[in-house]
Structure 1
Amino acid sequence: MVASAGQDRLAQDFVEFAVQSGVLRFGEFKTKAGRLSPYFFNAGLFDDGAKLGRLAQFYAQRITASGIAFDMIFGPAYKGIPLGAAVAIELARMGRNVPYAYNRKEAKDHGEGGSLVGAPVRGNVLVIDDVMSAGTAARESIALIQAAGATPHAVAIALDRQEKATENGADVDWSAVQYVRERLGLQVCAIATLDDLLQYLQEHAGGELGAHHAKVAAYRDRYGAG
């Protein structure tokens, strides 16, 4: 596919990769907020070495291009653990070797003990996760990082749904990513966004995928954050 003017090449390649890998699917899916979404992104389906390695390349390229300064990587349990490790490996392959740590859901009371595993959590920390739904996981990571005496600085995610979050069962005017940026003060970089997905579907308007464009666009119109 040839990139058109204004098109984010990395994002378009990632969306295509996610679709071809079966990670990004179309149909009718119920979200945590109880909405019926015409698409679903399940990062857990990056389930073999080749897919995980390619995914790490996308993260590393986006993180590098973002210019975000950080001292180490943190992978929140559970999906963030393999994601953070894979990204750390890819960054090292690219010539930037950074420390990596992750957390346990339950603190260990023997051996080294505690809930944090890996390198000491210090300096400006970059959190690696798959998506943001309500910012809850980000808040948990922030608390763990601050408790260790470090600074939660930024979050890298695979897909920004650009969708209104919910609070106490009601829609709010901001997305989870906007919440993390504006209220929690962390930088956020995403490999791709819902807008990138819509552009990809528009580019494939003549094929099977193009049939999903109208439904995804309608969902964006209804639930998209400003």
Structure 2
Amino acid sequence: MTMPGSHAQSFVRFALEQGVLRFGEFKTKSGRLSPYFFNAGLFNDGASVGRLGHFYAQALVDAGLSFDMLFGPAYKGIPLATATAVSLAVEPALSGRLVPFAFNRKEAKDHGEGGVLVGAPLQGRVVIIDDVITAGTSVRESVSLIRAAGAQPAAVLIALDRMERAGAEGALSAHSAVQDVEQTYGIPVISIASLTDIMALLAGDAALADYRDAVAAYRARYGI
């Protein structure tokens, strides 16, 4: 599920202005040549991360899910969960309810508090927050940590759903990475925006007209 159209479009425009969303030709991890690039790690100053946290918080509230806390998988998920928790603290719909958050380390710490988890104890219904879902590895590890702590994964909240199939040419997966996560773990994936919103931006902006055909062709080839 994605945010209402106006919120999603505002986010896509914001990502474009910040250089987080770019158009051109970019090689992905899988070796594909993508006509667009999205990297939430480029939201890298206080103002942009603060606004990003608002978009995440709004998407979560609009989804209407019951949840108790947030979890940010290392590394990108850590500032994302933090910023979202800050924004939720002033979210009118939560009536002042403070939302705890936690995150993990890549390597276990053998001194101090030890372990791989940092922050609030994992308990109740936990929302996993990340930037995108590609192979689903981060989600799998997060779900394992949450369940091992006796808590329940409630949803995954991401910035962008690329709506893209995985696999080699001629052997593409039946579903997108997001759909695979939803089916594998039985939890919803909430996205602030999706490829559909990027295409709507291209359709409505004459300055970006040169990229419309390339993105449409990419979606026809790999999209769901």
Q: Structure 1 residues 96, 73: closer, same or farther in 2, change over 3 A?
A: same
Check conservation: 1:155, 1:187, Cα contact below 8 A. Answer: yes
Partner-residue secondary structure (3-state), 1:138:
helix
In structure 2, the residue matched to 1:4 is none
Determine the C-alpha separation between the residues in 1 that align with 2:29 and 2:74. Answer: 18
In structure 1, the residue matched to 2:100 is 99
Give yes or no for the alignment of 1:120 onto 2:106.
no
Determine the C-alpha separation between the residues in 2 that align with 1:119 and 1:202. Answer: 44
Determine the C-alpha separation between the residues in 2 that align with 1:125 and 1:54. Answer: 22
Determine the C-alpha separation between the residues in 2 that align with 1:135 and 1:152. Answer: 14
In structure 2, the residue matched to 1:142 is 143
In structure 1, the residue matched to 2:42 is 45
Please list the CA deviations of residues 4-53 of structure 1 after superposition, one character each: whole Å capped at 9, or x if unmatched: xxx70000000000000000011111111111000000111000000000
Determine the C-alpha separation between the residues in 2 that align with 1:71 and 1:20. Answer: 33
Give yes or no for the alignment of 1:72 onto 2:72.
no
Q: How does 1:114-193 map to 2 (within 5 A)?
A: 114-166=115-167, 170-193=171-194
Q: Structure 1 residues 92, 219: closer, same or farther in 2, change over 3 A?
A: same
Q: Which amino acid aligns with 2:79?
A: P
Determine the C-alpha separation between the residues in 2 that align with 1:58 and 1:75. Answer: 16
CA RMSD in angstroms comes to: 1.3
The Cα of 1:171 is off from its aligned counterpart by 2.3
In structure 2, the residue matched to 1:14 is 11
Q: Structure 1 residues 111, 33: closer, same or farther in 2, change over 3 A?
A: same
Check conservation: 1:134, 1:166, Cα contact below 8 A. Answer: no
Determine the C-alpha separation between the residues in 1 that align with 2:172 and 2:117. Answer: 34
Partner-residue secondary structure (3-state), 1:189:
strand
Determine the C-alpha separation between the residues in 2 that align with 1:138 and 1:166. Answer: 19
Determine the C-alpha separation between the residues in 1 that align with 2:137 and 2:220. Answer: 25
The Cα of 1:127 is off from its aligned counterpart by 0.5
Determine the C-alpha separation between the residues in 1 that align with 2:101 and 2:110. Answer: 22
The Cα of 1:170 is off from its aligned counterpart by 4.7
In structure 1, the residue matched to 2:82 is 85
Determine the C-alpha separation between the residues in 1 that align with 2:209 and 2:108. Answer: 47
Determine the C-alpha separation between the residues in 2 that align with 1:145 and 1:165. Answer: 26
In structure 2, the residue matched to 1:27 is 24
Determine the C-alpha separation between the residues in 1 that align with 2:11 and 2:128. Answer: 20
The Cα of 1:68 is off from its aligned counterpart by 1.4
The Cα of 1:76 is off from its aligned counterpart by 0.3
Please list the CA deviations of residues 124-147 of structure 1 after superposition, one character each: whole Å capped at 9, or x if unmatched: 100010000021110010011111
Using the size of structure 1 for normalisation, the TM-score is: 0.93
In structure 2, the residue matched to 1:214 is 213
Determine the C-alpha separation between the residues in 2 that align with 1:23 and 1:96. Answer: 31
Number of equivalences:
216
